[in-house]
Each structure stands twice: as C-alpha cells, then as structure tokens.
C-alpha cells in the first residue's frame, strides 16, 4: 500500500449547512497527522480543471459557523464522461495527491465509485445534504439545520394563517425523500404531511381537511414534500382543495433554497467535525470506497455501494406519531 502524504478535499452537489465545519475538521485532522491537505474548488468540475489550493489549519479559521461551502460546489456533467474523469485523475497525479475526501450526496458517491473502479484511487465520502436520504447514516450533515429553518418558517406562517383562518400548503425540499417534511411537519405541528414514501391520495387529504374543520380548527398547515405525488404541482393542489372544500381559503408557500442556507446548528457542527476526523482516520487506516456516517451515535463506515438512495426508509413510527398528534 502507498502511504498517504497528501489528501484532497472537495464538496459536490447541493450545498448544505455544516459543509464548512466538515472541511475544517478534515483539514485539521490532516494537520494533526502531518498529512498535507489540498482544497479542490467547485467539486468534480474543479478537479477536472485543476482548481486546487493548499490548505492549512489557519485556512479554515472562522468557518465552523458559516453556511454554504467555502470550497464552492457544482454538479459536474463532465465528470460523468470518461475523458473528464481521466483529466481529473491526471490532475491528482500531477499534484501528488494520494487520496480524497468527497463531501456530498448520493450523486457525489456514485461519481466517486466509478472513479475508484477506473483508477483504484482511495476515496472516502462524507454525507453532506439537507435531504437525509443516504443509507448508512442516521443523519446527514445539514439536515438538522434545514429542519430548524423549516420549523422557524412554518411558525411564522402559522401566525398569519391563524389571523386569517387560512389553510397554508408549505412546500419543502428533500427530493425523493420525505424526511424533512415529516420531521419538520411534526415539529411545527402540521395538520397533514405529504411525503413521497406514503401516497395519501387527494381524496383522503380532502376528507382529513374536512374533518379538521368540523373538529373546530380554524387554520391549518399542510407540509408538502417536493417529491410527493399529489404535491408535485402544489398550486394545482391548492386550486383542487379550494374547488372541493369551499370553506377553505388556501395559500401556498414554497420555501425553496432558504432551506439550504444559514449558520449550521450545533448538532450539524458537531456531526461534521466527528465525521471529518473519521474520514481521515479511515483513509489513514487504509479504508477506501466507503462513506463515514453516524449510526446509533457511533461513527461508522459503509461501502459507497450501500449508500445509494432508495434504501433509506422513512420511520413508520413517525408517521403514526404525526397522525395521532394532528387530531
């Protein structure tokens, strides 16, 4: 085995609060182990273009509290091509980089897996996405902050919903995963939560809203995950509800990218720090082709092949809790 003297770090895909804290931990763990660290800017695209900068312990000062990623991020189409990946490998070789830490979501890990198979290059991943849709970790970096952002926003929406006796449909992110919707929905006291993992159907939603009205509720919040079947066109859903339940005046709020920004929560900062140190421990311990995650509050590693989405199931107990407490 070639000993690791220089490690590159990049962030890829959608940014997430806590990515900076993760980079900081990676850089400082490298310094601790007397390994050089190189920042690769703009994800795999910067890797292809050789956008590198040496990082030391002081390069990452004052960033643990900052949202976004100072290394910047991109979704690189060129890295999906064999020529793009060859350019990336040549840049790593010319720069004498022996291994990489990639921080991102399942797309980032899919790219890493292909690259490892082609060039036998050691890579370890960290789960950085607000969606919490990665198998092999209980939590992804950025998810907790996004939940808090959503709950804070819905608390504000509830004030105006109450004042006007209105029904609000609030669309949240999460791609094909309902984790943000379900947990933020419970935390914000939503009346209904629409998630892709459990197709409720428009009729059942109407029945439920009708029951709510009869039980004395004057305003309501429905949290709609962007990937949910009936919520896919949230404005159409609003019209459908108004046409079928005349007693409701409906408004729509799409929270959008506000969910990706902001100062990371303490939980995300600590998680990112633990996983960043774990990534360097793993690489120096000769692990590769794995993601470092957190399972039952223990730092663990899982092969990239197991992290791909579709296997991270929603907690059915939470759905039950949401149903009971929204009566």
Catalytic residue annotation: 131
Q: Are residues 135 and 302 in contact, defined by beta-carbon separation less than 8 angstroms?
A: yes
Among 174, 185, 196, 276, binds ligand F6P (CB under 6 A): 174
Residue 128 interacts with ligand F6P (CB under 6 A): yes or no:
no
Indicate the DSSP class of residue 219.
-
Alpha-carbon gap, residue 173 to 175, rounded angstroms: 6
Residue 260 interacts with ligand F6P (CB under 6 A): yes or no:
yes
Residue 134 interacts with ligand F6P (CB under 6 A): yes or no:
no
Alpha-carbon gap, residue 192 to 208, rounded angstroms: 8
Among 25, 123, 125, 131, binds ligand F6P (CB under 6 A): 131
* DSSP class per residue in 194-215: EBTTB---HHHHHHHHHHHHHT
Q: How far is the CB of 256 from ligand F6P (least distance, A)?
A: 9
Residue 196 interacts with ligand F6P (CB under 6 A): yes or no:
no
Q: Are residues 192 and 225 in contact, defined by beta-carbon separation less than 8 angstroms?
A: no
Q: Are residues 191 and 224 in contact, defined by beta-carbon separation less than 8 angstroms?
A: no
Orientation of helix 202-214 relative to helix 234-244, angle to 10°: 50
Alpha-carbon gap, residue 200 to 149, rounded angstroms: 25
Cβ closest to ligand F6P, residue 86 vs residue 257: 257
Alpha-carbon gap, residue 109 to 183, rounded angstroms: 25
Q: How far is the CB of 175 from ligand F6P (least distance, A)?
A: 4
Among 68, 105, 136, 185, binds ligand F6P (CB under 6 A): 105
Phi and psi dihedrals of 264, rounded to 5?
Answer: -65, 145
Q: How far is the CB of 76 from ligand F6P (least distance, A)?
A: 13
Residue 253 interacts with ligand F6P (CB under 6 A): yes or no:
no
Instruction: Say how many residues touch ligand F6P, by CB under 6 A.
Output: 10
Residue 19 interacts with ligand F6P (CB under 6 A): yes or no:
no
Cβ closest to ligand F6P, residue 124 vs residue 130: 130
Residue 8 interacts with ligand F6P (CB under 6 A): yes or no:
no
What residues line the site for ligand F6P (CB under 6 A)? 14, 105, 129-131, 173-175, 226, 260
């Amino acid at each position: 085995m070639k000993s690791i003297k220089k490690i590159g770090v990049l962030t890829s895909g959608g940014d997430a609060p806590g990515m900076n804290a993760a980079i900081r931990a990676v850089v400082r763990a490298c310094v601790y182990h007397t390994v050089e660290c190189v920042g690769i800017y703009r994800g795999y695209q910067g890797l292809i273009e050789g956008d590198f900068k040496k990082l030391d312990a002081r390069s990452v000062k004052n960033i643990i509290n900052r949202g976004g990623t100072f290394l910047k991020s991109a979704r690189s189409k060129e890295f999906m091509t064999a020529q793009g990946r060859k350019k990336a490998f040549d840049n790593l070789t010319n720069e004498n980089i022996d291994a990489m830490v990639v921080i991102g979501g399942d797309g980032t890990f899919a790219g890493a897996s292909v690259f490892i198979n082609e060039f036998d290059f050691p890579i370890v991943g960290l789960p950085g996405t607000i969606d919490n849709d990665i198998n092999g970790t209980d939590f992804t970096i950025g998810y907790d902050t996004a939940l808090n952002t959503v709950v804070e926003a819905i608390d504000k929406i509830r004030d105006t919903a109450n004042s006007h006796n209105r029904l609000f449909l609030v669309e949240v992110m999460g791609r094909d995963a309902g984790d943000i919707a379900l947990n933020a929905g419970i935390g914000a006291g939503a009346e209904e939560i629409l998630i892709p993992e459990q197709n409720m159907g428009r009729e059942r939603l109407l029945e439920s809203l009708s029951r709510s009205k009869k039980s004395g509720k004057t305003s309501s919040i429905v949290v709609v995950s962007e990937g949910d079947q009936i919520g896919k066109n949230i404005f159409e859903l609003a019209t459908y509800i108004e046409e079928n339940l005349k007693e409701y005046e409906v408004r729509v709020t799409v929270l959008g990218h506000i969910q990706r920004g902001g100062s990371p929560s303490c939980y995300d900062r600590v998680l990112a720090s633990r996983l960043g140190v774990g990534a360097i421990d793993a690489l120096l311990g000769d692990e590769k082709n794995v993601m470092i995650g957190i399972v039952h509050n223990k730092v663990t590693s899982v092969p990239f092949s197991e992290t791909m989405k579709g296997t991270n199931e929603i907690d059915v107990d939470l759905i039950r809790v949401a149903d009971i407490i929204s009566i």
